[in-house]
Amino acid sequence: MAIAKKITQFMERSSWIRKMFEEGAALKAQYGADQVCDFTLGNPDVAAPAVVEEELIKIAREPALLKHGYMPNAGYPETRAAIAEFLSGEQQVKVNPQGIIMTCGAGGALNVIFKAILNPGDEVISPSPFFVEYNFYADNHGGVLRSIPAIEGFALDLEAIAAAINEKTAAVIINSPNNPSGVIYSAAQIADLGRLLDRKSAEIGRVIYLISDEPYRKLVYDGLAVPPIFPAYRNSVIANSYSKELSLAGERIGFLALHPEADDFTPLTNGFVFANRVLGFVNAPGIMQRLVARLQGVTVDVSIYQRKRDRLYQGLLEAGFQVSKPQGAFYLFPQSPLADDVAFVRELQKQRILAVPGSGFSGPGFFRLAYCVDDATIERSLPIFKEVGKQFC
């Protein structure tokens, strides 16, 4: 067989998001795109701020030596400095530009981090539900992901995390606002997690890194904010992306940021830069680096996503579904009225509503709806959800 057995196995249990997206394409071809309500893919549909195009035009016209050439593997110094300055305010810690590494999105950042810190057989702990690719990212670098189910309200189960830590534990990864639940972990929980990791690192005799995956940090609602992790734990590293906050998902631009007081700061940053190169990313896109350096603090109009959230959330409640109101990101994660969430998603598919089963996020018994879609899709879905609710809820 030409393809590796491991990849064949991974493909068989790979992303439900893509599976449903592909099946949705077949439904759209059969019935027409305007007859299918597709909530599968978290592809930002809010337009990028006007300043994005304005600055891109300026960059394209500006004379610059080696504008499209190689740059330092960590990224342009001016971009790293701009991000460090902005993060210093956001994280309430003076961030060192040397700890900023420009990457091909948050996915690239996570792979760079895992490549640099994982030895074969090391474990990464993640509360569930979690982004579907974490399993594969850890495996890419010889690691094993250990899933710890969240407690009520999708809060961190700190006791279970503590019990799961052992001499093989290299990191804990969190995602706030969370994909798929939309929950924001509270400042108190982050502080408790930091103290737990300090204690457990001393007990097992190795640093346990706290990795915070933050591509939805700016997409928060109702006046809430995402607590910073740097004040809570010095051996922490952030993975972030401009895909959501600037609607630049196709441009693959992001960064990782290491706490300035992390143990072995310099060897670790050197390891990140080396991993960035040998993984084949080499550099994050150059034009995008120049762009984001000028747009620190700029975001899309988040109120549009909040309006979409409110409309779909209220419609689901009225249809009889049990669902927590997301605090951020652009997903709803209702409970499945059938114990088998895959079976329920199939029932929705019969009604031309495309969703993703929670099992794909290690969250069985739920299903995910991405509401970063046009308003017409949401409105078209509501009477269908009402009829489905009468049958199953």
CB 210, CB 124: distance < 8 Å: no
pLDDT in tens, 171-200: 999 999 999 999 999 999 999 999 999 999
pLDDT in tens, 20-45: 767 777 887 887 878 899 999 899 99
Query: What integer pLDDT is reported at residue 66 of this predicted model?
Result: 79
User: Residue 379: which H helix or E strand, with range?
Assistant: helix 375-392
Query: What integer pLDDT is reported at residue 371 of this predicted model?
Result: 98
CB 82, CB 297: distance < 8 Å: no
What is the arithmetic mean of pLDDT over 285-303? 97
pLDDT in tens, 347-378: 999 999 999 999 999 999 999 999 999 999 99
Query: What integer pLDDT is reported at residue 91 of this predicted model?
Result: 98
State the helix-helix crossing angle for 302-318 and 375-392, rounded to 10 degrees.
Answer: 20
Nearest-angstrom CA–CA distance, 123 and 117: 11
State the pairing for strand pair 123-128/169-175: parallel
> Positive or negative CA dihedral for 204, 232, 158, 109?
negative
Nearest-angstrom CA–CA distance, 329 and 317: 19
Whether the pLDDT of residue 9 is over 80: the answer is no
Query: Domains of the chain by range and CATH?
Result: 5-48+300-392 (3.90.1150.10), 66-294 (3.40.640.10)
Q: What is the pTM of this model?
A: 0.95
Dmax of the chain from CA atoms? 65
